[in-house]
Amino acid sequence: MNSKSLSLIPIILVSLLSVGCSSPQIKESPEVIVKVNDYPTRDRVEFVFNCIAKHGGKNDYVSQYACGCKIDKIAEKLSFAEFEAATTFSLLRSTPGENGAAFRDPQHAKTLRKRLKEADAYAENLCFVN
Q: Is residue 73 a part of any domain in this protein?
A: yes
The pLDDT of 114-128, averaged and rounded, is 93
- What is the average pLDDT across 81-95? 91
Residue 121 pLDDT grade (very low, low, confident, very high; cuts 50, 70, 90) = very high
Q: What pLDDT does residue 63 have? A: 86
Give how many domains the chain has, as a whole number: 1
In a domain, 113, yes or no: yes
Per-residue buried b or exposed e for 86-121, using 16+ beta carbons within 10 Å of the residue's own CB: bbebbeebeeeeeeeeebbeeeebeebbebbeebbe
Predicted confidence band at 20 (pLDDT cuts at 50, 70, 90)? Answer: very low
Q: Residue 65, exposed/middle/buried by CB under 10 A (0-12, 13-18, 19+)?
A: middle
Range of the domain at 97: 38-127
9, HSE (Cβ side, Cα atoms, 13 Å): 7
For the residues 70-75, what does the mean pLDDT come to? Answer: 94
pTM for the model: 0.68
- Contact indicator for 65, 105 with CB cutoff of 8 Å: no
pLDDT digits (tens, 9 = 90+) for 28-71: 555 555 555 689 999 999 999 999 998 888 888 888 899 999 99
Residue 21 lies in a domain: no
**What confidence category does residue 81 fall into, taking pLDDT thresholds of 50, 70 and 90?**
very high
Any domain includes 108 = yes
Identify whether 8 is part of a domain. no
- pLDDT band of 21, cuts 50, 70, 90: very low
Rounded to whole angstroms, the Cα distance separating 47 from 7 reads 44
Is 30 inside any structural domain? no
Tell whether 67 is covered by a domain.
Answer: yes
CA distance 22 to 123: 29
Residue 48 falls inside a structural domain: yes
